[in-house]
Amino acid sequence: MPTLRTYTYIYMMRISFIVFFLLLVSTDIHAQNNAIAAGEKLTYAASYNMSGVLTDIAQITMEATEVKTSKATLLRLKCTAATYSKWDNFFKIRDLYESYVNPTNMTPYLYNRDVNEGSYFKNEKYTFNPKTNTVKSVQKKKNNNVEEKNLTINSGTKDIVSTIYYMRTLDYKNMSVGTRKTFVILFDREEIKGLITYLGKETLTTAIGKKECYKLAVGSSDTKALQGTNSNFIWLTADENKVLVYGKFKIPVGNGEIKIKSASGLKN
């Protein structure tokens, strides 16, 4: 019978993906960014239900900074996941996900994923060509073997990080309760389909104050990630920043939550 360590190992192997997957949203190409600016920093605590008790296991940090190239000014969207030190001896995670995007519409140009989870290592880079809907993928594993592959994607498909931020550019204020939107995200060289449903507003007490929020239900075609039709939800502040403040999810080996700890450098 699988042990708690085995279950926790499986969970931690997927924690960053699950946390980020909860934030996915539709690929509405007309949305414009009025919510995110360079200098923003958000931190979250990720918890997992262990023997009936939600236990904080890791910290998620999300930062936006400006990067200038010879041709354009981009936003670097950096997401990191790290277990708290007391868990490092049991299962250590140090993950990096980052995307370089157009600051107006969150179109990605470069994506980097550097995963270090226990004995599991993976480095993956995507170079997007929005004009041709193609991606050059370079993948390096622990043995330093490098594999290159050219991918063809659907128009509007994004990496997981640019999707996280892109969802905050959508107009929930004028969205009717029950509205559904689909999305496509490129992860592990595969396009994953998902769905969100707008459920209306709720007020939550959070670490950054009492906030009126938009509530969204999240679903996925990937049953290895999220499970259940009424088990995965996120709450975004119902203001111009639309910051994620709370999320809860169910996966094959249990359930967990993410809660905001701090927010600084907000645009609005």
The count of domains in the chain is 1
- Is the pLDDT higher at 143 or at 111? 111
For residue 85, the surrounding DSSP H or E stretch is helix 85-88
Position 26 confidence tier, pLDDT thresholds 50, 70, 90: very low
In a domain, 266, yes or no: no
Taking all residues of the chain, what is their mean pLDDT, rounded to a whole number? 84
pLDDT digits (tens, 9 = 90+) for 224-253: 444 445 678 999 999 999 999 999 887 666
- Residue 4, pLDDT > 50, answer no
Determine, yes or no, domain membership for 62: yes
Supply the pLDDT for residue 221: 54
- Assess if residue 211 is contained within a domain: yes
Structural domain boundaries, residue 66: 4-261
Q: How confident is the model at residue 10 (pLDDT cuts 50, 70, 90)?
A: very low
Domain assignment of residue 268, yes or no: no
pLDDT of residue 125: 97
- pLDDT band per the 50, 70, 90 thresholds, residue 213: very high
Residue 8: pLDDT band (50, 70, 90) is very low
Instruction: Estimate to the nearest angstrom the gap between the alpha carbon of 164 and the chain centroid.
Output: 5
In a domain, 44, yes or no: yes
Q: Indicate the residue type of 125.
A: K
Q: 99 in a domain, yes or no?
A: yes
pLDDT at site 22: 44
**What Rg, from alpha-carbon coordinates, does the chain have?**
18
* 194 in a structural domain: yes
* Per-residue pLDDT tens digits for 127-183: 999 999 999 999 987 777 899 999 999 998 999 899 889 889 889 999 999 998 887
The 3-state DSSP class for residue 169 equals helix
Instruction: Identify whether the C-beta of residue 162 lies closer than 8 Å to the C-beta of residue 108.
Output: yes
pTM of the shown model: 0.85
Say if 267 falls within a structural domain: no
Predicted local confidence at residue 7, as pLDDT: 43
- The two tokens of residue 116 are 């270090």
CA distance linking residue 218 with residue 206, whole number of Å? 21
